């Protein structure tokens, strides 16, 4: 009997950094499903069309991907894993194209911004597009001889483009953390993280009281960030990551304490920590 390959949804075209993250996490024996936006990735996994989704959570230079956290808040899905990949931008074009031939460079606005110093040396217009890999695909499909894309080396392989220059990003320490989302989170491994989101009363000391439930049990926080509550102006949800698995008795006890000191609490998932 032939074993069915895992299906993994991601945002962007084939060759996107999200697809690269999927292969890094799962290995090559998967079927990847591209989607135009993050909401479609969540819906595909929720409806069972794909077993897993890979979504960007945080960039080391730009911070959190707010839409991912907003979607996690309302989705009936869990974070099952995380993976971090180095973001190395390249300048890609059709074979035979030279730097002096370029009149336009396409890419996602964030990628263009991250390569501003190098792109400023080119006498070419910078045009934002919805996706890095999508820009590479457009150049290949339309055979655009005087155009280039800022995308990954992996995109060059996928679309048969030439790499005019590698590592054109302004800052070398550029990493993105991706979440693996699924219908259930992961069993405990002994090297885990848990992600939660909660709300508090709009009174002095409410956030301190909530975080004290973790501090008193010596649970180490690795991240805390606020996001606006869209239905209540100037009030916020708090997204928190900490070490440990929700099945651990100490973590269970802390979560019970949090229920008493918050107005809303959701466990987004427990999962193995990325290297």
- Write the pLDDT tens digit of every residue in 52-68: 999 999 999 888 999 99
**Alpha helix stretches (DSSP H) within 76-196:** 109-114, 116-119, 132-142, 153-159
Mean pLDDT of all residues in 254-275: 95
Helix (H) or strand (E) holding 40: helix 38-46
If you average pLDDT over residues 85-114, what whole number do you get?
A: 95
pLDDT digits (tens, 9 = 90+) for 12-56: 999 999 999 999 999 999 999 999 999 999 999 999 999 999 999
Query: pLDDT tens, 110-164?
Result: 999 999 999 999 999 999 998 999 999 999 999 999 999 999 999 999 999 999 9
> Domain 6-87+174-182 - what CATH class?
alpha beta
Percent of the chain with pLDDT strictly greater than 70:
99
pLDDT(3) > 60 = no
Q: Are 244 and 170 in contact (CB under 8 A)?
A: no
Lowest average pLDDT, out of 15-19, 108-112, 233-237, 244-248, goes to 233-237
C-alpha span between 126 and 113 (Å, rounded): 10
pLDDT of residue 1: 44
Instruction: Show me where the domains of the chain are located.
Output: 6-87+174-182, 90-165, 192-272
Confidence of residue 183 (pLDDT cuts 50, 70, 90): very high
> Is beta strand 6-11 parallel, antiparallel or unpaired with respect to 52-59?
parallel
Fold of 192-272: Alpha-Beta Plaits (3.30.70)
Tell me what pLDDT residue 247 has: 97
Amino acid 233: pLDDT: 84
| Mean pLDDT, rounded, of the chain | 94
Give the CA distances from residue 50 to residues 7, 10, 21, 45, 95, in Å, rounded to whole numbers and listed in that order.
Answer: 5, 10, 16, 5, 35
Task: State the burial class of residue 182 (Cβ atoms within 10 Å of its Cβ: 0-12, 13-18, 19+).
Answer: buried
- When mean pLDDT is compared across 159-168, 231-240, 243-252, the lowest value belongs to 231-240
Q: How far apart are the first and last CA of the chain?
A: 35
Q: Confirm whether 6-87+174-182 and 90-165 share one CATH topology.
A: yes
* C-alpha 131, offset from chain centre: 14
**Per-residue pLDDT band at 71 (split at 50, 70, 90):** very high
- Give the rounded distance of the alpha carbon of 169 from its chain centre: 19
Find the helix or strand (DSSP H, E) in which 39 lies: helix 38-46
Residues annotated as catalytic (active site), given as ranges: 176, 178
Q: What is the CATH number of domain 90-165?
A: 3.40.190.10
Q: What is the mean pLDDT of residues 63-84?
A: 95
Contacts 24+ apart (CB under 8 A), 138-147: 138/106, 139/92, 139/93, 139/94, 139/106, 140/94, 143/94, 144/94, 145/94, 145/97, 145/101, 146/97, 146/101, 146/102, 146/103, 146/104, 147/93, 147/102, 147/103, 147/104, 147/105, 147/106
């Amino acid at each position: 009997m032939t074993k069915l390959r895992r299906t993994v949804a991601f945002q962007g075209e084939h060759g996107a950094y999200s697809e690269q993250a999927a292969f890094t996490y799962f290995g090559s024996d998967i079927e990847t499903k591209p989607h135009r936006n993050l909401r479609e990735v969540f819906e595909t996994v929720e409806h069972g069309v794909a077993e897993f989704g890979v979504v960007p959570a945080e960039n080391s230079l730009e911070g959190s991907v707010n839409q991912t956290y907003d979607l996690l808040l309302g989705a009936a899905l869990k974070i099952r894993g995380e993976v971090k990949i180095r973001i190395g931008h390249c300048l890609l074009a059709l074979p035979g194209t030279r730097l002096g031939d370029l009149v336009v460079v396409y890419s996602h606005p964030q990628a263009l911004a991250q390569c501003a110093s190098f792109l400023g040396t080119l006498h070419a217009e910078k045009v934002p597009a919805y996706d890095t890999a999508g820009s590479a695909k457009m150049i290949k499909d339309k055979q655009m001889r005087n155009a280039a894309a800022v995308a990954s080396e992996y995109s060059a392989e996928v679309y048969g483009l030439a790499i005019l220059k590698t590592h054109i990003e302004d800052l070398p320490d550029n990493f993105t953390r991706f979440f693996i989302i699924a219908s259930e989170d992961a069993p405990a491994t002994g090297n885990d993280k848990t992600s939660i989101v909660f709300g508090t009363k709009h009174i002095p000391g409410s956030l301190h009281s909530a975080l004290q439930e973790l501090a008193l049990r010596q649970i180490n926080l690795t991240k805390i960030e606020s996001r606006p509550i869209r239905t209540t102006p100037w009030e916020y949800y708090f997204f928190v990551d900490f070490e440990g698995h929700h099945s651990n008795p100490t973590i269970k006890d802390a979560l019970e304490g949090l229920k008493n000191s918050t107005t809303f609490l959701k466990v987004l998932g427990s999962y193995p920590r990325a290297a």
